[in-house]
Amino acid sequence: MTAVALAPLSSDWHAGARDRLRARAQAAGLDGVLLLRVSNLAYATGLFLSANERPMGLWLPVAGDPILFMPELERENAETCGIADMRLYDEFPGVTPPVLWMLDEIGMQSVAIDALDAKLLDGAHARTQRLDLHDHAMAERWIKTPEEIALTREAASFADAFLHRLHIAGGDIIRQGGTEQDLMADAMAHARSALFARHGKAFAGTPMGITASVHSGPRAALPHGAVLTRVPQPGETLISGIGASLGGYHAESGATFILGQPSRDQARIMAAMTACNDAAVEAARPGTRCDAVDLAARDVLRDAGLGDAIRHRIGHGMGLEGHEAPWLAPGDATLISAGMVFSNEPGVYRPGVDGYRTINTMLVTDAACELPSRFQTDCPPKQRVIAL
């Protein structure tokens, strides 16, 4: 990991994001957009507030100043974002639901709302000239700016740090009777301490952290599952998937390790996984449909005779959410553009036997994909062995 001087996105950056959203609203023939999703609020304001039952909103008119709508108890937190017109409501649920109160404050206009409870739909229609329920902010967030990409690159380096620690220390921990939980705790402490040592002061108050899983043996066939007090055994596979965030921006890395000498079958599957990863990297270019990337990558596993062991898509978008649109999956016809960020995670799962998954973060550029996740490049399949 190289030393870089990074900081949370600036107030000027968020003002630029608001201008981009205004332009998108104008192009859609709207008077403005009302942002209610917490991730969209963070994008437009820099506020990372806890999501709960109390709605928060930002009205971005095409013409005029923005209005920030908040519950009273968030007054002091909201004052830090620099939006002058802040309007507060007392409490939830209130005599008038807060979202409908926001629309009353906005007045009868053509409004897009990024998320709306179905039970409020009739009331929202009655308070608007035109109601658009498309998430215009999410579509804007697909394309990351250089500042967002810098945070993604750095986050990926700490996901890699977890894997490097697991690879180096895993054998000693298992030989001493260590469990999946012990493996995760050791690597987590290493990666998290490195993250906070480097960025804890500058990024205080923004989302920053590490999440991880470690599964072994037959339980590696579970794409998601609890990390247990199970001791991994010689000859098994061990899967680890890691998410890291910095300044609210997410990246992922993941790898499958063989505990001891790989069998011929294990080596064959590891090679197929690498070819699947490479096919996704090659396909994820500007102008390609997202579902075409998924098909091109997973066809490699099918051609290797592993089609029955596929249990999920090849990847998903990442940004202010760990999983966000667009999706490298069947049914998503979104055209890929430079600046998009995806996970690339081939998976092979054989219930009762074993499982395999690798994860790279992919940054789409004008020419090809950049991989800020470096563990798989630094540690090719033949080296992903934990000696016992």
Per residue in 128-151, pLDDT (tens digit) is 999 999 999 999 999 999 999 999
Under CATH, domain 146-386 is a member of which superfamily?
A: Creatinase/methionine aminopeptidase superfamily (3.90.230.10)
Contacts by residues 1-4 (CB-CB < 8 Å, ≥ 24 positions apart): 1/157, 1/158, 1/160, 1/161, 1/194, 1/198, 2/157, 3/198, 4/150, 4/154
127 pLDDT exceeds 50? yes
Which residues does residue 315 pair with via DSSP β-bridges, in sequence order? 328
All CATH 3.40.350.10 domain ranges in the chain, comma separated? 11-140
Q: Region 95-121: what's the mean pLDDT?
A: 97
pTM: 0.95
Torsion angle of C-alpha atoms 32, 37, 41, 44, degrees rounded to 10: -50
- What was the pLDDT predicted at 1? 39
**Distances in Å between the alpha carbon of 117 and those of 49, 53, 71, 203?**
20, 12, 18, 33
Of 350, 352, 372, nearest to 362 by C-alpha is: 372
Q: Region 155-180: what's the mean pLDDT?
A: 98
3-state secondary structure of 329: coil
120 pLDDT exceeds 80? yes
Q: Per residue in 310-355, pLDDT tens?
A: 999 999 999 999 999 999 999 999 999 999 999 999 999 999 999 9
Counting residues of the chain whose pLDDT is more than 70, the rounded percentage is 99
Query: Quick one: pLDDT band at residue 2, thresholds 50, 70, 90?
Result: very low
- Fold type of domain 11-140: Creatine Amidinohydrolase; Chain A, domain 1 (3.40.350)
All CATH 3.90.230.10 domain ranges in the chain, comma separated? 146-386
Average of per-residue pLDDT values in the chain:
96
Which residues does residue 360 pair with via DSSP β-bridges, in sequence order? 344
Q: Per residue in 185-242, pLDDT tens?
A: 999 999 999 999 999 999 999 999 999 999 999 999 999 989 999 999 999 999 999 9
300 pLDDT exceeds 80? yes
Residue 293 CB neighbours (<10 A) = 29
Place of tokens 């490049």: 377
- What was the pLDDT predicted at 225? 86
Start-to-end Cα distance in the chain: 28
- What was the pLDDT predicted at 4? 46
3 pLDDT exceeds 50? no
The CA distance from 369 to 279, in Å, is: 11
Query: Quick one: pLDDT band at residue 356, thresholds 50, 70, 90?
Result: very high
CB 243 within 8 A of CB 161: no
The CA distance from 130 to 124, in Å, is: 9
298 pLDDT exceeds 80? yes
50 pLDDT exceeds 90? no
- What was the pLDDT predicted at 51? 86
